Amino acid sequence: MAAFAFDIDGVLKHGKSHILPGANRVLNVLSGRTPEVLAQKVPFLLMTNGGGQTEDERLKALEGDFGVQFSKNQLVQSHTPLQDYVSEYRDKPVLVCGGEGDAARSVAHSYGLKQAYLLQDLVAWRGNVWDRYHLTAAEESFVRRDIDFSNIPFSAIFVIHDAGLDWALATQVITELLNSDGGRMGTQRQRKKGVPDGKEIPLILTNPDFIWPTDYPVPRFGMGAFRTGLDAVYKELTGCDLPYTQFGKPHTTTYKFAESMLRRHLADIGGNPADPLSGEPADPADNPASDIAGANAYGWVSLLVRTGVYAGGEPAHRPTQIVDNVEDGVMWALKREGLV
Ligand SMILES: [Mg+2]
C-alpha cells in the first residue's frame, strides 16, 4: 500500500496564499478524482510544522486552497500530536503560547485541556509582568480577569506557534516559570548557578524549524529561532541548558503519530488499517534539516523538492530522490510502486 505525507510550506504552498504548480492536481489524483491517471485512492495526509489554529479551522482553509475535501485524519500540524500527549494535564493549569488572538486557548480546549491560560492573561493580571507589552482592544476582549495567578501552580508550558507570539513577553514569562517555586508566578526557587535541579515544570515546543520559506525572497525565522534566543537567555541567567521537549518534524514522535493518522485515514477510505504501508510512505518536502532528516530516520521515502527552502547543491541530509516539484515527486513514487 502506497501512502504520502506531504509537507505544506514550500511543497504545496508558499506563504499564506500562493499555491504551487501541480499541488491541486496531485491531491485530486490521490483522492481518486482522476481515474484516467490513477484508478485507486491512495492514502495521504498533510504534515506541517505550521500550526497556531485548530485542526478544524486549518482543514477548512486548506480545502479552500486545494479544492479537495479532507477528513480530520489527514492533517498533522506541529501541535496535533499533543492530542495524544496532554491527557495528564486535562484538569491542571497550563500556559499556552502562540497563535493569533486567543487561538492557543481554542487549540488547547479542542485537545481537552480545561485550564489553559495565555500570556495575555498574565499581563491582564499584572501589567508589570512585562511592562513593555500593552494589551490591544481585541486582547482586552478575551483575557481572563477573574484569576489570581499568584495562586495558580502552572503544571506545564506549551508553545504551539510563533505567529502572534511576542518573543520578549514569552521569553520573560517562560524563564520565570522555569525558575519558579512550583510553577507559581512571582516566585523564584533557590538554585545553584550551573547546576540543573530538575525542578522545572515541563516546557513543550512544537516546531523546531529555525527558518521557513514564505513569499518574501529570504526565508523567515520560525519557532526554532525563538527557542535559540530563549535558550541563550536561560543559560545566561541559570548557567544551565534550557530543558524542553520538542515535537514537530524531524522528531520521531511526530512521524509515529502521522503513521497512526495515515492508518486511520486508510480505514476511512475503505482500506485495512493493518496493511503494511509498503514499509515506507513517501514524504515530499522542501527542508533537508527537518523533513528529509525526519523521514530518513523514520524509514520513509524522502522526496526533496526544489520549490522551497532547498536551494540546490549537496543537501545536509540526502533524500531518496530530488525532484523539481511535488507533482514530479508523486509521479516518481507512484511509478516506483507500479501504480502508474
Ligand atoms: Mg516546508
Helices and strands: H and E segment counts in the chain: 10, 15
- Digit-coded pLDDT (tens) for 294-337: 999 999 999 999 998 898 999 999 999 999 999 999 999 999 98
User: What cell was used for 225?
Assistant: 529561532
Average pLDDT over residues 193-216: 92
Q: What integer pLDDT is reported at residue 289 of this predicted model?
A: 86
Q: How far is the CA of 104 from the centre of ligand 1 (A)?
A: 22
**Per-residue pLDDT tens for 47-91?**
999 999 999 999 999 999 999 999 999 999 999 999 999 999 999
Whole-number Å distance, alpha carbon 85 to ligand 1 midpoint, is 24
Residue 121 one-letter amino acid:
D
**Distance, CA 223 to ligand 1 centroid (Å)?**
14
CA nearest neighbour of 52 among 96, 3, 116: 96
Task: Note the pLDDT of residue 258.
Answer: 95
pLDDT at 280: 67
Model confidence pLDDT, tens digit, residues 167-195? 999 999 999 999 999 999 999 999 999 99
The pLDDT tens digits for 213-252 are 777 888 899 999 999 999 999 999 999 999 999 999 999 9
CA 307 to centroid of ligand 1, rounded, Å? 9
* The amino acid at 231: D
What is the 116 CA–ligand 1 centroid distance (Å)?
A: 29
Provide the percentage of residues in the chain whose pLDDT is more than 70: 98
Tell me how far the alpha carbon of residue 339 lies from the centroid of ligand 1, in angstroms: 26
Cα 134 to ligand 1 centroid, rounded to whole Å: 33
61, 134, 137 from 119: Cα distances, Å: 26, 12, 15
d(CA 133, CA 265): 43
Q: How close is the Cα of 141 to the center of ligand 1, in Å?
A: 34
Q: How far is the CA of 303 from the centre of ligand 1 (A)?
A: 12
Backbone angles phi, psi at 114, to 5 degrees: -95, -20
All domains in the chain, ordered by first residue: 4-78+250-336 (3.40.50.1000), 86-246 (3.40.50.1000)
The x, y and z cell numbers of residue 183, run together, are 510553577
Is it the case that residue 164 has pLDDT exceeding 60? yes
Tens digit of each residue's pLDDT (9 = 90 or more) over 101-154: 999 999 999 999 999 999 999 999 999 999 999 999 999 999 999 999 999 999
For the cut 90, the answer to whether the pLDDT of residue 16 exceeds it is no
Distance between Cα 256 and ligand 1 center (Å): 19
Enter the pTM of the model.
0.92
pLDDT band, very low/low/confident/very high, at 277 (cuts 50, 70, 90): low
Task: Give CA–CA dist 325/71, Å, rounded.
Answer: 25
251 and 239 in contact (C-beta within 8 Å)?
Answer: no
Joined grid coordinates for residue 335: 511509478
Dihedral angle sign, alpha carbons of residues 191, 194, 196, 200: positive
Half-sphere exposure for 324 (CA within 13 Å, toward CB): 5
CA 10 to centroid of ligand 1, rounded, Å: 5
Look-up of cell digits 485541556: 113
C-alpha cell at 162: 510563533
CA 276 to ligand 1 center in whole angstroms: 26
